[in-house]
Amino acid sequence: MATGAAVPTTFSTLKTWDSSLGFAKNIDFVRVSDMKSMKSSARKRVSIIRNSNPGQDIAELQPASPGSPLLVPRQKYCESLHKPIRRKTSTVMVGNVAIGSEHPIRIQTMTTTDTKDVAGTVEQVMRIADKGADIVRITVQGKKEADACFEIKNTLVQKNYNIPLVADIHFAPSVALRVAECFDKIRVNPGNFADRRAQFETLEYTEEDYQKELEHIEKVFTPLVEKCKKYGRAMRIGTNHGSLSDRIMSYYGDSPRGMVESAFEFARICRKLDYHNFVFSMKASNPVIMVQAYRLLVAEMYVQGWDYPLHLGVTEAGEGEDGRMKSAIGIGTLLQDGLGDTIRVSLTEPPEEEIDPCRRLANLGMRASELQKGVEPFEEKHRHYFDFQRRSGQLPVQKEGEEVDYRGALHRDGSVLMSVSLDQLKMPEVLYKSLAAKLIVGMPFKDLATVDSILLRELPPVDDADARLALKRLIDISMGVITPLTEQLTKPLPNAMVLVNLKEISTGAYKLLPQGTRLVVSVRGDEPYEELDILKGVDATMLLHDLPYTEDRISRVHAARRLFEYLSDNSLNFPVIHHIQFPNGIHRDDLVIGAGSDAGALLVDGLGDGLLLEAPDKDFEFIRNTSFNLLQGCRMRNTKTEYVSCPSCGRTLFDLQEVSAQIREKTSHLPGVSIAIMGCIVNGPGEMADADFGYVGGTPGKIDLYVGKTVVKRGIAMEHATNALIDLIKEHGRWVDPPAEE
């Protein structure tokens, strides 16, 4: 059981929940120890708020130790911390498709056609269905679109397509009522269904004022709930991080906690009306925020005893491998913990292109919950489930007498390691470029996105002067060169770091190396603690967490969590690199999704200091880019321009794919700059919470430009908008000229 030291010692407010009001009553107190006065209360579950952090943790209070008067939070957000067990949910029927834990994880996407274009929309839905989607969502923004939905549904039925259709509703309760008569499911956004569009104003509320707002929501929302009950329709209560209302943000902050509360306001109305055919979603463009919000949602559902299914998705994920990686990090992380019943991978690509990566993720989730690979139960006290707190390993420091600088072998914001072959050493300049090093007169120098260290499983012969010179030049620029113990003992390379395993340490074989040799230790994470104890006596530069990809009994994610728990318990601050060796023949998307799910699930919790991905038959540049994409997707090391781009829908006011390509072509050389490219205003300003600059469709043919959430230029003609965006970036001192072509 956690001790009092595991939680903050001061809080501003203890909130108890009055479900009849849907409003939190505040009980002020100073220290956690004062919570013992709550023992007599019938309430055993509370929420805790920290002034220093707008996010909040759902907590169940338990004694710090048996018989202790001190109560501390103990959170539960999944069925098991030791293996993937699918969370038990009720079944929600969407037309003829069942969603829930007793059914396969369902795949869905969204049309991009103008909904009023009945023929075009029908054709796109049929293509999506033919690709294997289970459900299709269609935007319905007005009465004309709602009227078209009847014709769309009838046409599809006549063509023998019975795929369930979902109406995507924003700002339009009357439209939702109309389309509920023909579509199988209604998606409502709690941030804008009854509340006005967010102006990002801080509002002050008394308890009475807040209650009146809730009564207004109930009045607006109740007719739709009653109609869905009457027609047997399903509903998704889908919160978007980017479209929380000013009311929610003023009271809960722009936070995962606010996202959950926004959805719960609507869910309580559904429950009050005895309507339960609904699912939740908590979408954000930032995978870290998305994961925290879903965990918080489930934690509170456990507290409340609710079992509604989950729709998973990272919104505005982007295109290509960037979009697939962000989705893999967010969705894959939750699937690894048994959370998720239907998923969508949002890509700035044709909707049918979303189905394949979506299916790969769904298969990953189903396999994880069916195989239930895990580790022996262990107590988890140090991982932060609901807020990002990175465990940073001790970076290499220079030691007296060392001839070379090892400090660059790892990077403070997350390291990328690559496996290099002997063949690559035959062409040193090509190797340097493939490691993303700068070349000046044929000599390598580290750049922003240069690989930090390399693994050389086989050293060149001692008499291969050219290959050894190439390695020396890498070591001279503070790139780590790692090689196995047997190689270093038989063909020693000066200043190489040596890879050893626990057995080689226990037998003392590593002591044959010269004193002061840098050690890199490979561990599985599921070893008995007495075997791991040998780490206490080793001065390791880093650990490689390396669980074979073929392991069929142990979960990589859970083994790593166990390893990090052991390291924290024993105050061992070695940097840990996630080492994943993929098999020959793996599909590129499976590699991206596998890396995002396995390593991303740990990095979003701040567990890990970098990556070493190996895939012998894959292009070197692809592996390197995937590694850097993964670190950036986990909000660690930013090495390129970050794009937040929506997947397009019937609301989109321009060709998103074409415009995104134009903007990327001119701005992709701006690491540290984040640009949002949004087809319309629905999620625009809010979803740009993480973005520095925004390019948003305002009216047909016109673009609005934003700095953060603030619109600074309106109504710019499309043909001038990209240049206007560049001028805006320059005005704010964030522009640099692209590097000259070599």
- Structure confidence by residue, pLDDT tens digits, 39-63: 333 333 433 333 223 334 444 555 5
What SS3 class is residue 41? coil
Pairing between β-strand 710-717 and β-strand 702-707 as defined by DSSP bridges = antiparallel
DSSP-assigned states of every residue in 615-669? -TTS-HHHHHHHHHHHHHHTTS---S-EEEE----TT--S-HHHHHHHHHHHHTT
Task: Please give the pLDDT value at position 710.
Answer: 83
Q: How far apart are CA 714 and CA 698, in angstroms?
A: 8
Give the residue-averaged pLDDT of 276-301: 94
What is the DSSP secondary structure assignment for residue 676, as one 8-state letter?
A: E
Assess whether pLDDT exceeds 80 at residue 436.
yes
Task: Please give the pLDDT value at position 103.
Answer: 98
- 254 closest CA partner among 55, 3, 83: 55
In this prediction, residue 677 has a pLDDT band, given cuts at 50, 70 and 90, of confident
- Structure confidence by residue, pLDDT tens digits, 252-261: 877 888 899 9
Nearby residues of 28 by Cβ (< 8 Å), 6 or more positions away: 12, 13, 14
Task: Please give the pLDDT value at position 36.
Answer: 34
Task: Please give the pLDDT value at position 24.
Answer: 33
- How many residues make up the chain in this entry? 742
Give the residue-averaged pLDDT of 689-708: 84
- Look at the block and give the residue holding tokens 């935007």: 139
What SS3 class is residue 234? strand
Assess whether pLDDT exceeds 70 at residue 267.
yes
What does residue 233 show for φ and ψ, rounded to 5 degrees?
-90, 155
Q: What CATH architecture does domain 415-634 belong to?
A: Alpha-Beta Barrel (3.20)
- Structure confidence by residue, pLDDT tens digits, 97-156: 999 999 999 999 999 999 999 999 999 999 999 999 999 999 998 999 999 999 999 999
Nearby residues of 189 by Cβ (< 8 Å), 6 or more positions away: 169, 170, 238, 239, 240, 243, 682
Classify burial at 379, counting beta carbons within 10 Å of its beta carbon; exposed 0-12, middle 13-18, buried 19 or more: exposed
Choice between 614 and 697, residue whose per-residue pLDDT is larger: 614
Assign domain 92-371 to its CATH superfamily: Dihydropteroate synthase-like (3.20.20.20)
- 109 closest CA partner among 367, 315, 249: 315
Q: What is the mean pLDDT of the chain?
A: 86
Choice between 127 and 347, residue whose per-residue pLDDT is larger: 127
Contact 111, 104 (CB under 8 A): no
> Which amino acid does the sequence have at 82?
H
DSSP-assigned states of every residue in 510-531? GGGSPTT--EEEEE-S-S-HHH
H helix or E strand, kind and range, residue 54: strand 53-63
Domain with CATH 3.20.20.20 in the chain: 92-371
What are 102's two structure tokens? 């007793």
- 456 closest CA partner among 530, 412, 520: 520
What SS3 class is residue 295? helix
In this prediction, residue 211 has a pLDDT band, given cuts at 50, 70 and 90, of confident
Give the residue-averaged pLDDT of 522-529: 97
Give the residue-averaged pLDDT of 405-425: 97
- Structure confidence by residue, pLDDT tens digits, 603-634: 999 999 999 999 999 999 999 999 999 999 99
CA angle 262, 266, 268 (to 5 degrees): 110
Q: How far apart are CA 488 and CA 277, in angstroms?
A: 63
Q: What is the pTM of this model?
A: 0.87
Domain with CATH 3.20.20.70 in the chain: 415-634
Pairing between β-strand 438-440 and β-strand 443-445 as defined by DSSP bridges = antiparallel
**CA atoms within 13 Å, Cβ hemisphere of 132:** 13
Assess whether pLDDT exceeds 60 at residue 742.
no
H helix or E strand, kind and range, residue 499: strand 497-501
- Look at the block and give the residue holding tokens 């640099």: 736
Which range, of 14-18, 160-164, 510-514, 728-732, averages the lowest pLDDT?
Answer: 14-18
CATH tag, 642-732: 3.30.413.10
In this prediction, residue 657 has a pLDDT band, given cuts at 50, 70 and 90, of confident
What SS3 class is residue 75? coil
Q: What is the dihedral of CA 470, 471, 475, 478, to 10 degrees?
A: 70
Give the residue-averaged pLDDT of 354-365: 95
Classify burial at 611, counting beta carbons within 10 Å of its beta carbon; exposed 0-12, middle 13-18, buried 19 or more: buried
Assess whether pLDDT exceeds 50 at residue 79.
yes
